[in-house]
Structure 1
Amino acid sequence: MTSEHMKVQAMISPLGGQQLLAQDVVRVRLPLSNAFLLGTPGQPWVLLDAGSPGNAGMIVRAAEARFGPGARPEAIVLTHGHLDHIGSLWALRRRWENVPIYAHPLELPYLTGASPYPPPDPTVGGSMSALSPLLVPGPFDFRPQVHALEELDDLPALRGWTFVNTPGHSPGHISLWRERDRLLIAGDAFVTTVQESVMAALSLRPRKAHRPPAYYTPDWDSARASVRRLAALRPALAITGHGDPLEGVTLLEELTDLATNFDSQARPAHGRYVTQPAVTGASGVLRLPPQPPFRLSPRPVLIASAALLLLALRRRRV
């Protein structure tokens, strides 16, 4: 851990608030995921990910609090294009007209209207998983603003960052790595809360290195390889798409354990993609494994409904 990193345990961000994690990295805690502001005040900046639908106001307020009234990013970069990471893009691009959006080329079919993502899998277990069919898999269309990462200019806010290909949770998922201070923004390659549970997803407890959200991971072999790739970097601080940051010895021990024991700890015991991945390519989804039978029991629905009602009440206070 370098002196540039903040003490993350003491600075857990309130809903819609900012958490300064490095001099040029701010986490914006959104209701179901995180977005990030990369850059320093007075200089060009980049938005990383855009949360669920309805989060645009929180993102704009956080950006203007950090960068000043009327602040707009030089670019929006996506770790991937699932609904809980792009849901506010429609509102943001109306506000920030002509700001370009960048994603890995293998994400572009799902962001240009060509293909929906592999559908979520509610059979992996958990109350959030039971609700996952509500997370529309697209296709989403952000043309003409959306571009391949290769077209991204050398923006000041991204100097020093490396894009790491971490597929599995989505075909073109990326993480961001900075060697200088060993800072990792993992996206959903792994997360730090038990995202399959609505209560855990909203409370961010327990805080631990955890598999990618199981209900929306269509390729578990690739997900395992991506976790191992990130563990090999030995990050000092990891920031993920869901949950609070992890750092230091705790991070290294838990991430190493997750990578080493991925098949026994992380791969679901059952589910649509557990033994057969979705097959995808440059044009989108090519082939899907059969859909297993799914019967929704009332208990997870009641838990999820109560949690989402509490979330709605909290958002009214933000």
Structure 2
Amino acid sequence: MRQLAPGVHLLLGRPPHLVNAYLVEDVLVDAGTRSARRRITRQLDGRTLAAHVVTHAHPDHFGASHAVCERYDVPLWIGRKDAAAVATATPVTGSGFAAAVVSRMRMPAPHPVARGLTEGDEVAGFTVLDVPGHSPGHIALWRDHDGVLLCGDVFVNVLRLGAPPKFLSYDDLRNRASMRRLAELRPKLVLFGHGRPLRDPDLLRLVR
């Protein structure tokens, strides 16, 4: 586990930065795929965990959520409009090719949602921002005093910084609006669901 900012740690992955999960104070943010369960629990065992937050209801972010919540007896929190997707393990996707791909995937185990997060809620010193588009209820976490942003998949930083693939987003135009909103915050540290951390606040504003 690597510290990136006060109270914010990146869980180590294989390969690094492909699918990220973070420990923010005593809250786990995202839980990778189903196969990430052992990797995540090895790093969390011996630590105090109070809750588990999922940025959005895609299977590469709540894949190990059920296992984590059961092992540590912690509640699962997610954006209100994505709650049903995790509780039933039926992610909402775009139409066409994306829907066909997801329908053939082995879904993570469902898990009850204890709290549906909305704009302005606080989680471990961060403020919840509603940033829909990649999924209907996608959230980001923003810490204003030092400019740390956990953006989920509103942006991705694999190979290059940009938007997630259109076919994987529920509504690409709404996600673009969420991208603009987050870029205007000019964060000093951006933490992605996929990709390396970014410490240049101007780069987000250049993404088209």
TM-score range, shorter chain: 0.7 to 0.9
Matched with 2:114 is 146
Q: Kindly indicate whether the alpha-carbon contact (under 8 Å) linking 2:92 and 2:170 is maintained by their aligned counterparts in 1.
A: no
Secondary structure at the counterpart of residue 209 of structure 1: strand
Match 2:34 to one of 53, 59, 63:
53
**Cα deviations across residues 26-45 of structure 1 (Å, max 9, x unaligned)?**
11143441000011xxxxx1
Q: CA deviation at 1:154?
A: 6.4
Q: CA–CA distance in 1 between the matches of 2:75 and 2:153?
A: 22
Correspondence 1:162 to 2:127: yes
Q: CA–CA distance in 2 between the matches of 1:181 and 1:121?
A: 41
State how many pairs are aligned. 204
Q: CA deviation at 1:120?
A: 6.7
Against the structure 1 CA distance between its residues 133 and 114, is the aligned structure 2 distance closer, same or farther, given a 3 Å change threshold? closer
Q: CA deviation at 1:114?
A: 8.6
Q: CA deviation at 1:54?
A: 1.5
Secondary structure at the counterpart of residue 145 of structure 2: coil
Secondary structure at the counterpart of residue 77 of structure 1: strand
Matched with 1:177 is 142
Higher-Rg structure is: 1
Q: CA deviation at 1:141?
A: 3.0
Q: CA–CA distance in 2 between the matches of 1:179 and 1:33?
A: 25
Unaligned runs of 5+ in 2: none
Letter in 2 for 1:227: M
Against the structure 1 CA distance between its residues 134 and 22, is the aligned structure 2 distance closer, same or farther, given a 3 Å change threshold? farther
Q: Kindly indicate whether the alpha-carbon contact (under 8 Å) linking 2:147 and 2:188 is maintained by their aligned counterparts in 1.
A: yes
CA RMSD of the aligned region, Å?
2.8
Correspondence 1:225 to 2:174: no
Matched with 1:296 is none
Q: CA deviation at 1:149?
A: 2.0
Q: Kindly indicate whether the alpha-carbon contact (under 8 Å) linking 1:120 and 1:137 is maintained by their aligned counterparts in 2.
A: no
Letter in 2 for 1:56: R
The aligned runs of 1:223-262 (5 Å cut-off) are: 223-248=175-200, 251-252=201-202, 254-258=203-207, 261=208
Secondary structure at the counterpart of residue 35 of structure 2: coil
Matched with 2:83 is 108
Match 1:93 to one of 69, 76, 80:
69
Q: CA–CA distance in 1 between the matches of 2:71 and 2:176?
A: 38
Percent identity of the aligned residues?
34
Against the structure 1 CA distance between its residues 131 and 183, is the aligned structure 2 distance closer, same or farther, given a 3 Å change threshold? same
* Higher relative strand content: 2
Provide TM-score, normalisation by structure 1: 0.58
Secondary structure at the counterpart of residue 34 of structure 1: coil
Secondary structure at the counterpart of residue 238 of structure 1: strand
Q: CA deviation at 1:105?
A: 1.0
Against the structure 1 CA distance between its residues 190 and 115, is the aligned structure 2 distance closer, same or farther, given a 3 Å change threshold? same
Q: CA deviation at 1:239?
A: 0.6
